[in-house]
Amino acid sequence: MKIVFLLHNAYAIGGTVRTTLNLAAALAERHDVEIVSMMRHRARPRFTVDPRVTLVPLVDTRERSPDRELPGFGAPAADFPVEDKRHGQYSRLVDVRVREYLAGPGRGADVVIGTRPGINVYLALFGPRRALRIAQEHLRHDAHGKALRRVLARHYRRLDAVVTTTRADAAVYRARMPLPGVRVLCVPNIVPAPSVAPSDHTAPVIAAAGRLARGKRFDLLLEAFATVAVKEPDWRLRIYGGGAQRERLEAMIGELGLAGRAVLMGPHSPIEPEFAKASVVVSASDAESFGMTLVEAMRCGVPVVSTDCPLGPAEIVHDGVDGRLVPVGDAAALANALLDVIKDGPGRRAMGRAALESARRFDPGPVVARYELLFAELAATRGRRACRRLQGRLLPAVRRRVRRARRRLRRRP
């Protein structure tokens, strides 16, 4: 079976890039797998690409690239929806190259999987009809603006399936975006076992990782750690990642008197060796579509303390067993949970062992099996789902005609 992934930029760093490469490598055990990168901004990908996976860049944006001389390079995209916040990074040349690929080399694919909303629109517009067309949603339904959700509701009707990373998000899609004939389900991300030894839980280190963005609430984490630092003076906080909030967070570290105690470590990839040096990993996010760093920490045998934010953490962390869940936006609750884990050494080590065992849910084998089962189900139900899709289009039109007819009858004397 030939499986094609459509990815924004396989040469960049990001959660969607990492999870796509993980899934592609796992599927390549038994299938012909290709990743089509909408654009390319550097010579080599930052993450390792499995040698069995073919990488196809469509538009080269590097400084001396011949693509930059083509007329479509500087023209805004017409097919990629303007409602997608990445629209400014897309050009008419990307539109054309995607269409050409899917009409040419991509026609031989058995399955084509899109990995972000605008790319899923490409898939709905140009995806080969013989292929199963699947939209992955790595962001929550509610993280999309209303205008984008309207666009997606119109285009997702043409697809075979929409796959979310959490059961809760799949339920939201089914409730708020009716898609007749389209299977909507959850398949979690693959998080492979790291090549590092698990944490020995002896280092007085709390770790956190993610983009330094407002929604990740590293400001709340620093506020909570200020409380921890008073009661546990030997413990340190290391925050891994880069982003727009760096200067603000640096200033906050100084204001809270945490210089030398809380450190912004910058981006690190892979992150697992750093997590293995910690005894606790924490997330203070307001929202998470999945919670990749939580699973990566658990893979290193490290207990996690996380806000119980929508939608991922509650499906990853078993509160009191392999980690702790605390209310969103509550610095005091976050500090108390951290202190509980820090003070209880035996309990922390037991949580770490439970985290290591629990994280096996995200092994490649079970996730690949779920995708292969999905492919088989979609292929077997194609005719039946096409009828439901047609009914979904026709019934609203019939209902409108019936309503108009009734109004005309009521007006007659």
Mean pLDDT, consecutive 10-residue stretches, the chain (413 aa), reads 98 91 97 98 94 98 96 96 97 98 95 98 97 96 96 96 96 95 96 94 96 96 98 97 96 97 93 97 94 95 96 94 97 98 96 96 95 97 87 69 74 69
CB burial of 33-42 (b: ≥16 within 10 Å; e: otherwise) equals bbbbbbbbbe
What are the structure tokens assigned to 269, written together?
């990839």
Q: Which domains does the chain have, with CATH numbers?
A: 2-186 (3.40.50.2000), 205-362 (3.40.50.2000)
What are the φ/ψ torsions at residue 78 (nearest 5 degrees)?
A: -105, -30
Q: What beta strand segments (E) does 54-146 contain?
A: 54-60, 111-114, 132-137
Nearest to 118 by CA among 145, 256, 316: 145
Q: What pLDDT shows up at residue 401?
A: 72
Cα distances from 239 to residues 221, 293, 329, 344, in angstroms, run 10, 12, 18, 23
Quick one: pLDDT at residue 407?
A: 76
Please give the backbone phi and psi of residue 331, each rounded to the nearest 5 degrees, phi first.
Answer: -65, -35
CA-CA distances (angstroms) from residue 9 to 60, 76, 333?
Answer: 11, 18, 38
For residue 408, the model assigns a pLDDT of 76
**120 neighbors 142 (Cβ within 8 angstroms):** no
Return the exposure string of 145-166: e unless at least 16 CB atoms fall within 10 Å of the residue's CB, then b.
eeebbebbeebbbbbbbbbbbb
d(C-alpha 117, C-alpha 135), whole Å: 8
Q: Which among 246, 305, 296 is positioned nearest to 270, based on CA atoms? A: 296
Closest CA to 153 of 204, 101, 72, 81: 81
Provide the 3-class DSSP secondary structure of residue 396: helix
Question: Are residues 13 and 122 in contact, defined by beta-carbon separation less than 8 angstroms?
Answer: no
Give the residue among 225, 228, 229 at the shortest CA–CA distance from 239.
225
pTM of the model: 0.88
Which pLDDT score is estimated for 53? 98
| Res 402: pLDDT | 67
Please list the residues that pair with 326 across neighbouring strands: 307
Q: Could you tell me if 156 and 176 are in contact, meaning their C-beta atoms sit under 8 angstroms apart?
A: no
